[in-house]
Amino acid sequence: MTKKWYGGIEAGGTKFVCAVGSGPDDILYEERFPTTTPEETIGRTLEFFRNVDVPLEGIGIASFGPIDVNPASDTFGYILKTPKLQWIDADFGQAIQRELGLPVAIDTDVNGAALGEWKWGAAQGLDTFLYFTIGTGIGGGGMVRGNLMHGLLHPEMGHMRLPHDRQRDPFEGACPFHGDCFEGLASGPAMEARWGVPAETLPTNHPAWELEADYIALAMVNAICTISPQRIILGGGVMSNLALFPLIQQKVKHYLNGYLQLPTIIDDMDGYIVPPGLGNQSGVLGAIALTQVAA
Ligand code: ZN
């Protein structure tokens, strides 16, 4: 049997990752470039796929959002009102489909990454779990009973509201829509705006990390009480500081305050809130998985 090849596009807030492959062990081509204007970024994406010398079955797009994921809609694949202002109303998915003449499967970056983690990473064997990215933006997606979550549109867990103690943290928040939502308080750019330096340059003993873990833990408690996930995977640039994991795990227990007396919560927090099994490849592999599922 001839091997089938798929294209994947991880469209993130700071970078795009384009790849051709069929799974984690056989990525044939891969390229990363910064996310700039829609015209330039989509142009580079098209150029990458036009130079590929194997036939592709389809293209999967795992994109920042909000994005229209309803195939029956006229604006299917368009970016909607987003904090990334240049991309509002940008035709992304249909442009790729039209220019490359291939079937296109689209979902959010986090639903895509969740699917990748479910197939090959830290969510194998589970049917209800969440994947969050905490980086340039914050997003959450995942599966409920084996299906990626969609509904009115798709979950926008990065914009949930959190308790905000303005005495402890006077920063008003960085989300252009809500100010101090989860993303507005805890994204990479929010950390940079609050502390005046990029998050990755803050020393590990800086109070920024304690506060960051606090916001993430509050959001995780909301998610745990709402969705009842069997596991939560935390990826994205901010989470590359692995010292956040034990802080978050401990604070989640603290905020649950003895509620949910389950073995996983009591004894296995290490295995409950975890980094991605696919490292920084879950997004692009998830995009490939999206088109494999659709094919
Ligand atoms: Zn917001």
Q: What is the pLDDT of residues 48-89, one digit of tens each?
A: 999 999 999 999 999 998 999 998 999 999 999 888 889 999
Rounded to whole angstroms, how far apart are CA atoms 60 and 112? 9
Q: Is the dihedral of CA 172, 111, 223, 226 positive or negative?
A: positive
What's the CATH number where 15 sits? 3.30.420.40
Q: How far is the CA of 9 from the centre of ligand 1 (A)?
A: 25
Q: What is the pLDDT of residues 122-138, one digit of tens each?
A: 999 999 999 999 999 99
Residue 173: the pLDDT is: 98
Q: How many residues does the chain have?
A: 295
Q: How far is the CA of 159 from the centre of ligand 1 (A)?
A: 4
Do 134 and 75 belong together in one domain?
no
Q: What is the pLDDT of residues 177-194, one digit of tens each?
A: 999 999 999 999 999 999
Structure tokens at 214: 């606090």
Tokens 């999967």 belong to: 60
Could you tell me what percent of the chain has a pLDDT over 70?
99
Q: How far is the CA of 160 from the centre of ligand 1 (A)?
A: 7
Q: Is residue 295 pLDDT above 80, yes or no?
A: no
Q: How far is the CA of 102 from the centre of ligand 1 (A)?
A: 34
Q: What is the pLDDT of residues 229-278, one digit of tens each?
A: 999 999 999 999 999 999 999 999 999 999 998 999 989 999 999 999 99
Domain residue limits at 71: 5-109+288-294
| CB-facing half-sphere around the CA of 105: CA atoms within 13 A | 21
Tokens 């920042």 belong to: 64
Q: How far is the CA of 178 from the centre of ligand 1 (A)?
A: 4
Peptide bond preceding 66 in cis form (omega within 30 of 0): yes
Q: How far is the CA of 48 from the centre of ligand 1 (A)?
A: 33
Amino acid at 196: G
Contact partners, residue 41, CB within 8 Å, separation at least 6: 11, 16, 33, 34, 35
Do 271 and 128 belong together in one domain?
yes
Do 271 and 127 belong together in one domain?
yes
Residue 161 lies in a domain: yes
Do 131 and 180 belong together in one domain?
yes
Q: How far is the CA of 80 from the centre of ligand 1 (A)?
A: 14
Q: How far is the CA of 65 from the centre of ligand 1 (A)?
A: 12
Q: How far is the CA of 247 from the centre of ligand 1 (A)?
A: 24
Residue 121: the pLDDT is: 98
Do 241 and 96 belong together in one domain?
no
Residue 1: the pLDDT is: 65
Q: Is residue 42 pLDDT above 70, yes or no?
A: yes
DSSP string spanning 52-65? Answer: --S-EEEEEEEE-S
Q: How far is the CA of 162 from the centre of ligand 1 (A)?
A: 11
Amino acid at 34: P
Q: How far is the CA of 180 from the centre of ligand 1 (A)?
A: 7
Do 228 and 255 belong together in one domain?
yes
Residue 202 lies in a domain: yes
Q: How far is the CA of 262 from the centre of ligand 1 (A)?
A: 32
Residue 83: closest CA among 38, 16, 134, 138: 138
Do 69 and 208 belong together in one domain?
no
The number of distinct structural domains making up the chain is 2
Residue 92 lies in a domain: yes
Residue 78 lies in a domain: yes
Do 192 and 228 belong together in one domain?
yes
Q: What is the pLDDT of residues 89-123, one digit of tens each?
A: 999 999 999 999 999 999 999 999 999 999 999 99
Q: How far is the CA of 32 from the centre of ligand 1 (A)?
A: 27
Q: How far is the CA of 244 from the centre of ligand 1 (A)?
A: 22
Q: How far is the CA of 40 from the centre of ligand 1 (A)?
A: 26
Q: How far is the CA of 203 from the centre of ligand 1 (A)?
A: 27
Q: How far is the CA of 158 from the centre of ligand 1 (A)?
A: 7
Residue 133 lies in a domain: yes
Task: Please give the backbone phi and psi of residue 99, each rounded to the nearest 5 degrees, phi first.
Answer: -75, -35
Rounded to whole angstroms, how far apart are CA atoms 69 and 65? 10
Q: Is the dihedral of CA 261, 227, 137, 178 positive or negative?
A: negative
Q: How far is the CA of 149 from the centre of ligand 1 (A)?
A: 20
Rounded to whole angstroms, how far apart are CA atoms 278 and 9? 16
Rounded to whole angstroms, how far apart are CA atoms 247 and 237? 17
Residue 293: the pLDDT is: 87
Q: How far is the CA of 83 from the centre of ligand 1 (A)?
A: 8
